[in-house]
Structure 1
Amino acid sequence: MNDMNNVTPLRRPKPKKPLFDPRDPKSQVQLVYGLSIASFAIMWLGTQFVDWIGMGFGVAALVISVSKRDEGVFWARSHYEFALRTMIIGAVVWTLLSLLGLVIGWIPLVGSLTIFIAKACVLGWVALRSGSGFLKASDTKVIANPMSWLF
Protein backbone atom coordinates (compact mmCIF):
# COMPACT_ATOMS: atom_id res chain seq x y z
CA MET A 1 0.00 0.00 0.00
CA ASN A 2 1.63 3.10 -1.25
CA ASP A 3 -0.09 6.33 -0.20
CA MET A 4 2.35 8.60 -1.98
CA ASN A 5 -0.32 9.69 -4.44
CA ASN A 6 -2.55 10.92 -1.63
CA VAL A 7 -0.10 13.47 -0.24
CA THR A 8 -1.24 17.08 -0.20
CA PRO A 9 1.43 19.72 -0.13
CA LEU A 10 1.74 21.58 3.12
CA ARG A 11 1.25 25.30 2.93
CA ARG A 12 3.04 27.50 5.30
CA PRO A 13 0.69 29.65 7.32
CA LYS A 14 0.84 33.33 6.60
CA PRO A 15 2.97 35.11 9.16
CA LYS A 16 0.92 37.12 11.58
CA LYS A 17 1.36 40.84 11.33
CA PRO A 18 2.56 42.34 14.62
CA LEU A 19 0.25 44.66 16.47
CA PHE A 20 2.75 47.51 16.19
CA ASP A 21 5.39 47.56 13.49
CA PRO A 22 7.70 50.57 13.94
CA ARG A 23 8.57 50.53 10.22
CA ASP A 24 4.95 50.72 9.09
CA PRO A 25 3.82 54.30 8.31
CA LYS A 26 0.32 53.56 9.59
CA SER A 27 1.69 52.48 12.98
CA GLN A 28 3.95 55.52 13.18
CA VAL A 29 1.09 57.93 12.47
CA GLN A 30 -1.16 56.18 14.99
CA LEU A 31 1.63 56.37 17.57
CA VAL A 32 1.87 60.14 17.06
CA TYR A 33 -1.88 60.55 17.56
CA GLY A 34 -1.82 58.35 20.65
CA LEU A 35 1.06 60.32 22.16
CA SER A 36 -0.78 63.58 21.44
CA ILE A 37 -3.92 62.50 23.27
CA ALA A 38 -1.92 60.98 26.12
CA SER A 39 0.17 64.10 26.65
CA PHE A 40 -2.80 66.43 27.09
CA ALA A 41 -4.81 63.90 29.12
CA ILE A 42 -1.91 63.37 31.53
CA MET A 43 -1.33 67.10 31.91
CA TRP A 44 -5.05 67.71 32.52
CA LEU A 45 -5.38 65.00 35.16
CA GLY A 46 -1.95 65.14 36.73
CA THR A 47 -0.06 67.15 39.27
CA GLN A 48 2.98 69.30 38.59
CA PHE A 49 5.32 66.31 38.64
CA VAL A 50 3.09 64.30 36.32
CA ASP A 51 2.88 67.27 33.93
CA TRP A 52 6.51 66.64 33.02
CA ILE A 53 5.61 63.13 31.87
CA GLY A 54 2.81 64.55 29.73
CA MET A 55 5.20 67.09 28.26
CA GLY A 56 7.62 64.26 27.46
CA PHE A 57 4.90 62.47 25.51
CA GLY A 58 4.14 65.71 23.68
CA VAL A 59 7.80 66.28 22.80
CA ALA A 60 8.04 62.69 21.54
CA ALA A 61 5.01 63.26 19.29
CA LEU A 62 6.53 66.51 18.01
CA VAL A 63 9.90 64.90 17.27
CA ILE A 64 8.31 62.05 15.34
CA SER A 65 6.04 64.42 13.40
CA VAL A 66 8.84 66.81 12.46
CA SER A 67 11.29 64.07 11.50
CA LYS A 68 8.80 62.18 9.33
CA ARG A 69 6.93 65.16 7.87
CA ASP A 70 8.94 65.36 4.63
CA GLU A 71 9.44 61.65 4.01
CA GLY A 72 7.29 58.60 3.59
CA VAL A 73 4.12 57.89 1.69
CA PHE A 74 1.92 60.77 0.55
CA TRP A 75 -1.00 60.07 2.87
CA ALA A 76 1.25 59.92 5.95
CA ARG A 77 2.79 63.32 5.23
CA SER A 78 -0.58 65.02 5.59
CA HIS A 79 -1.12 63.23 8.91
CA TYR A 80 2.25 64.35 10.28
CA GLU A 81 1.47 67.95 9.36
CA PHE A 82 -2.00 67.63 10.91
CA ALA A 83 -0.63 66.14 14.13
CA LEU A 84 2.14 68.74 14.32
CA ARG A 85 -0.34 71.61 14.03
CA THR A 86 -2.59 69.95 16.61
CA MET A 87 0.25 69.70 19.12
CA ILE A 88 1.56 73.23 18.54
CA ILE A 89 -1.83 74.95 18.69
CA GLY A 90 -2.85 72.88 21.70
CA ALA A 91 0.40 73.60 23.53
CA VAL A 92 0.19 77.35 22.88
CA VAL A 93 -3.40 77.55 24.13
CA TRP A 94 -2.54 75.33 27.11
CA THR A 95 0.39 77.58 28.04
CA LEU A 96 -1.74 80.73 27.75
CA LEU A 97 -4.40 79.14 29.96
CA SER A 98 -1.74 78.19 32.51
CA LEU A 99 -0.47 81.78 32.59
CA LEU A 100 -4.04 83.02 32.93
CA GLY A 101 -4.46 80.55 35.78
CA LEU A 102 -1.66 82.29 37.64
CA VAL A 103 -3.64 85.53 37.44
CA ILE A 104 -7.22 84.42 38.07
CA GLY A 105 -6.42 81.22 39.94
CA TRP A 106 -6.40 83.15 43.20
CA ILE A 107 -10.13 83.84 42.95
CA PRO A 108 -11.72 81.20 45.15
CA LEU A 109 -13.46 78.43 43.22
CA VAL A 110 -14.28 80.55 40.16
CA GLY A 111 -10.71 81.01 38.90
CA SER A 112 -9.52 77.44 39.25
CA LEU A 113 -12.80 76.02 37.97
CA THR A 114 -12.67 78.28 34.92
CA ILE A 115 -9.14 77.16 34.06
CA PHE A 116 -10.05 73.51 34.67
CA ILE A 117 -12.99 73.71 32.27
CA ALA A 118 -11.00 75.67 29.67
CA LYS A 119 -8.22 73.07 29.75
CA ALA A 120 -10.86 70.34 29.43
CA CYS A 121 -12.05 72.07 26.25
CA VAL A 122 -8.49 72.09 24.88
CA LEU A 123 -8.16 68.40 25.76
CA GLY A 124 -11.45 67.71 23.98
CA TRP A 125 -10.31 69.61 20.89
CA VAL A 126 -7.01 67.70 20.79
CA ALA A 127 -8.77 64.38 21.40
CA LEU A 128 -11.34 64.97 18.64
CA ARG A 129 -8.73 66.14 16.17
CA SER A 130 -6.31 63.33 16.98
CA GLY A 131 -9.10 60.77 17.10
CA SER A 132 -10.37 61.72 13.66
CA GLY A 133 -6.81 61.61 12.33
CA PHE A 134 -6.27 58.21 13.97
CA LEU A 135 -9.37 56.81 12.26
CA LYS A 136 -8.35 58.23 8.88
CA ALA A 137 -4.86 56.79 9.35
CA SER A 138 -6.40 53.37 10.05
CA ASP A 139 -7.97 53.51 6.59
CA THR A 140 -4.84 55.13 5.05
CA LYS A 141 -6.86 58.16 3.97
CA VAL A 142 -5.32 61.56 3.35
CA ILE A 143 -6.20 64.51 5.60
CA ALA A 144 -8.00 66.85 3.20
CA ASN A 145 -6.78 70.10 4.75
CA PRO A 146 -4.03 69.53 7.32
CA MET A 147 -3.61 73.30 7.80
CA SER A 148 -7.13 73.75 9.17
CA TRP A 149 -7.96 74.60 12.77
CA LEU A 150 -10.86 72.18 13.05
CA PHE A 151 -11.26 68.69 11.65
Structure 2
Amino acid sequence: MNAAVEGILAGARTRLADAPRERLGELQEGRRLLGIPRAARIVPRGTAWHLGALLLTDDEVLSTGDIVRSRAEVRRGFAAESQRRRAELSAAAARGGVPEGETIHIAWEPVDLSALGERTAPLALRGEEVLVRWSAAGGYMPLDRYLDERIELLRHPPERA
Protein backbone atom coordinates (compact mmCIF):
# COMPACT_ATOMS: atom_id res chain seq x y z
CA MET A 1 0.00 0.00 0.00
CA ASN A 2 2.74 2.44 0.93
CA ALA A 3 4.42 1.90 -2.46
CA ALA A 4 1.20 2.90 -4.25
CA VAL A 5 0.92 6.09 -2.20
CA GLU A 6 4.59 6.89 -2.77
CA GLY A 7 4.04 6.38 -6.50
CA ILE A 8 1.08 8.80 -6.52
CA LEU A 9 3.12 11.38 -4.59
CA ALA A 10 6.20 10.94 -6.81
CA GLY A 11 4.03 11.51 -9.88
CA ALA A 12 2.57 14.63 -8.29
CA ARG A 13 6.05 15.98 -7.49
CA THR A 14 7.11 15.43 -11.10
CA ARG A 15 4.08 17.33 -12.41
CA LEU A 16 4.71 20.14 -9.90
CA ALA A 17 8.42 20.56 -10.71
CA ASP A 18 8.02 24.05 -12.19
CA ALA A 19 4.97 25.12 -10.16
CA PRO A 20 5.31 27.85 -7.52
CA ARG A 21 6.03 26.88 -3.93
CA GLU A 22 5.14 28.62 -0.69
CA ARG A 23 7.26 29.04 2.42
CA LEU A 24 7.05 26.85 5.49
CA GLY A 25 7.83 28.44 8.83
CA GLU A 26 7.98 27.78 12.52
CA LEU A 27 6.77 30.22 15.16
CA GLN A 28 9.45 30.97 17.75
CA GLU A 29 8.13 32.75 20.79
CA GLY A 30 10.25 35.68 21.88
CA ARG A 31 12.96 35.10 24.46
CA ARG A 32 14.21 37.55 27.00
CA LEU A 33 17.43 39.38 26.27
CA LEU A 34 18.88 41.09 29.34
CA GLY A 35 15.45 40.87 30.95
CA ILE A 36 13.71 42.57 28.04
CA PRO A 37 11.17 40.39 26.21
CA ARG A 38 11.74 40.05 22.46
CA ALA A 39 8.89 39.73 20.01
CA ALA A 40 8.00 36.40 18.46
CA ARG A 41 9.09 35.67 14.92
CA ILE A 42 8.44 33.06 12.27
CA VAL A 43 11.60 31.43 11.00
CA PRO A 44 11.75 29.74 7.56
CA ARG A 45 11.74 25.92 7.45
CA GLY A 46 11.70 25.23 3.71
CA THR A 47 9.12 25.35 0.94
CA ALA A 48 6.20 23.23 -0.23
CA TRP A 49 3.53 23.07 -2.84
CA HIS A 50 0.21 24.05 -1.27
CA LEU A 51 -2.42 21.58 -2.39
CA GLY A 52 -5.44 22.46 -0.27
CA ALA A 53 -5.40 20.31 2.87
CA LEU A 54 -1.92 19.02 2.02
CA LEU A 55 1.53 20.56 1.72
CA LEU A 56 3.86 18.52 -0.45
CA THR A 57 7.63 18.89 -0.05
CA ASP A 58 10.40 17.08 -1.91
CA ASP A 59 10.31 14.24 0.62
CA GLU A 60 7.31 14.69 2.94
CA VAL A 61 3.57 15.21 3.07
CA LEU A 62 2.31 17.72 5.63
CA SER A 63 -1.17 18.66 6.75
CA THR A 64 -1.91 22.34 6.29
CA GLY A 65 -1.99 24.45 9.45
CA ASP A 66 -2.28 28.23 9.62
CA ILE A 67 -1.53 30.41 6.60
CA VAL A 68 -0.22 33.93 7.22
CA ARG A 69 0.68 36.79 4.90
CA SER A 70 3.71 38.77 6.03
CA ARG A 71 3.01 42.39 6.99
CA ALA A 72 4.91 45.01 8.90
CA GLU A 73 3.71 45.57 12.45
CA VAL A 74 1.19 48.39 12.80
CA ARG A 75 -0.53 49.62 15.94
CA ARG A 76 -4.31 49.57 15.62
CA GLY A 77 -7.45 48.60 17.49
CA PHE A 78 -9.13 45.27 16.86
CA ALA A 79 -12.75 44.25 17.18
CA ALA A 80 -11.81 40.64 17.94
CA GLU A 81 -8.96 38.86 19.68
CA SER A 82 -8.57 36.57 16.65
CA GLN A 83 -7.83 39.63 14.47
CA ARG A 84 -5.17 40.73 16.94
CA ARG A 85 -3.56 37.27 16.86
CA ARG A 86 -3.52 37.20 13.03
CA ALA A 87 -1.88 40.64 12.97
CA GLU A 88 0.73 39.42 15.50
CA LEU A 89 1.50 36.39 13.31
CA SER A 90 1.77 38.58 10.20
CA ALA A 91 4.24 40.84 12.01
CA ALA A 92 6.17 37.79 13.31
CA ALA A 93 6.55 36.62 9.70
CA ALA A 94 7.96 40.02 8.72
CA ARG A 95 10.38 39.92 11.68
CA GLY A 96 11.50 36.46 10.52
CA GLY A 97 12.56 37.84 7.15
CA VAL A 98 9.55 36.91 5.01
CA PRO A 99 9.10 39.63 2.37
CA GLU A 100 5.98 41.73 2.87
CA GLY A 101 2.88 40.30 1.20
CA GLU A 102 4.34 36.80 0.85
CA THR A 103 2.52 33.77 2.27
CA ILE A 104 4.00 31.44 4.87
CA HIS A 105 2.55 28.26 6.41
CA ILE A 106 2.90 27.60 10.14
CA ALA A 107 1.54 24.96 12.54
CA TRP A 108 1.70 22.30 9.80
CA GLU A 109 2.06 18.66 10.84
CA PRO A 110 3.91 15.82 9.10
CA VAL A 111 1.66 13.00 7.87
CA ASP A 112 2.97 9.54 8.78
CA LEU A 113 2.40 7.50 5.62
CA SER A 114 3.42 4.28 7.39
CA ALA A 115 0.40 4.64 9.72
CA LEU A 116 -2.31 5.17 7.09
CA GLY A 117 -4.65 2.63 8.66
CA GLU A 118 -4.65 4.68 11.86
CA ARG A 119 -5.57 8.33 12.42
CA THR A 120 -3.39 10.25 9.97
CA ALA A 121 -5.46 13.34 9.24
CA PRO A 122 -6.14 14.47 6.59
CA LEU A 123 -5.39 11.09 4.94
CA ALA A 124 -7.43 7.95 5.56
CA LEU A 125 -7.46 4.41 4.29
CA ARG A 126 -10.65 2.68 3.13
CA GLY A 127 -9.90 -0.84 1.97
CA GLU A 128 -6.95 -0.38 -0.39
CA GLU A 129 -7.82 3.20 -1.38
CA VAL A 130 -6.13 6.24 0.16
CA LEU A 131 -8.52 9.15 0.70
CA VAL A 132 -8.11 12.82 1.57
CA ARG A 133 -10.46 14.74 3.83
CA TRP A 134 -10.34 18.13 2.13
CA SER A 135 -12.00 20.10 4.96
CA ALA A 136 -13.14 19.52 8.53
CA ALA A 137 -16.78 19.51 7.40
CA GLY A 138 -16.10 17.94 4.00
CA GLY A 139 -16.10 14.35 2.93
CA TYR A 140 -13.34 12.12 1.67
CA MET A 141 -12.00 12.02 -1.88
CA PRO A 142 -9.51 9.57 -3.49
CA LEU A 143 -5.95 10.89 -3.17
CA ASP A 144 -5.08 10.59 -6.87
CA ARG A 145 -8.19 12.52 -8.01
CA TYR A 146 -7.66 15.13 -5.28
CA LEU A 147 -4.06 15.71 -6.34
CA ASP A 148 -5.05 15.91 -10.03
CA GLU A 149 -7.60 18.62 -9.22
CA ARG A 150 -5.30 20.59 -6.90
CA ILE A 151 -2.31 20.45 -9.25
CA GLU A 152 -4.49 21.75 -12.09
CA LEU A 153 -5.68 24.64 -9.87
CA LEU A 154 -2.10 25.45 -8.83
CA ARG A 155 -0.77 25.39 -12.37
CA HIS A 156 -3.78 27.21 -13.89
CA PRO A 157 -5.46 29.35 -11.21
CA PRO A 158 -8.87 30.82 -11.98
CA GLU A 159 -8.95 34.40 -13.20
CA ARG A 160 -8.44 36.96 -10.39
CA ALA A 161 -7.58 34.25 -7.84
TM (norm. structure 2) is 0.27
Higher strand proportion (structure 1 or 2): 2
Alignment TM-score, normalising by the size of structure 1: 0.28
Q: Who wins on radius of gyration, i.e. which is larger?
A: 1
Higher helix share: 1
Of the two structures, which has the highest relative contact order with CA contacts closer than 8 Å and spacing of 6 or more? 1
